[in-house]
Chain A
Amino acid sequence: GENVEQHPSTLSVQEGDSAVIKCTYSDSASNYFPWYKQELGKRPQLIIDIRSNVGEKKDQRIAVTLNKTAKHFSLHITETQPEDSAVYFCAVGYGNNRLAFGKGNQVVVIP
Chain B
Amino acid sequence: GAVVSQHPSRVICKSGTSVKIECRSLDFQATTMFWYRQFPKQSLMLMATSNEGSKATYEQGVEKDKFLINHASLTLSTLTVTSAHPEDSSFYICSAPEGSTDTQYFGPGTRLTVL
Contacts and interface: CB of A to CB of B under 8 A. Distances in A.
B42 A103 contact: yes
A98 B103 contact: no
Contact of A43 (B34, B43, B45, B93): B93
Interface in A21-61: 32, 34, 36, 41-46, 49
Q: Is the interface of A mostly helix, strand, loop or mixed?
A: strand
A102 B45 CA distance: 10
A42 B34 contact: no
A101 B38 CA distance: 11
B12 to A, nearest CB: 16
Contacts of A97: 32, 97, 102, 104
Interface string B21-56: 000000000001010000000111110010000000
Given A42-B108, A46-B104, A102 B34 contact: no
B106 interface: yes
Give the size range of A's interface with the partner. Answer: 20 to 34
B44 A44 contact: yes
Interface string A87-111: 0010001001111111110000000
Contact of A99 (B46, B60, B107, B111): B46
B34 to A, nearest CB: 7
A32 B43 contact: no
Contact of B106 (A41, A44, A98): A44
26 contacts: A1-B60, A32-B102, A34-B103, A34-B104, A36-B106, A41-B109, A41-B111, A42-B108, A42-B109, A43-B109, A44-B106, A45-B106, A46-B105, A89-B43, A89-B44, A96-B57, A97-B97, A98-B49, A99-B95, A101-B43, A101-B44, A101-B45, A101-B46, A102-B43, A103-B43, A104-B42
8 tightest A-B CB contacts, nearest first: A43-B106, A97-B102, A101-B44, A103-B43, A101-B43, A43-B108, A44-B106, A93-B102
Interface of A: 1, 32, 34, 36, 41-46, 49, 89, 93, 96-104
